[in-house]
Amino acid sequence: MQTINRISPQEEWVKILAKGMVTIPKSFRDDLGIREGEIAKIKKIGSRLIIEPRETADYEVYSDNELKEMLQKDKLPQNLAQKAAGFWPDLK
| Distance from C-alpha of 12 to C-alpha of 1, rounded to nearest angstrom | 35
- Would you give per-residue pLDDT tens digits along the chain (92 residues)? 555 556 667 888 999 999 999 999 999 989 888 888 888 889 999 999 998 887 766 667 788 999 999 998 888 888 888 888 888 877 66
- Which amino acid would we find at residue 11? E
Picking from 52, 46, 49, 54, the residue whose alpha carbon sits closest to that of residue 16 is 49
Structural contact between residues 38 and 53, judged by C-beta atoms closer than 8 angstroms: yes
In order of their start, the domains of the chain are: 18-53 (2.10.260)
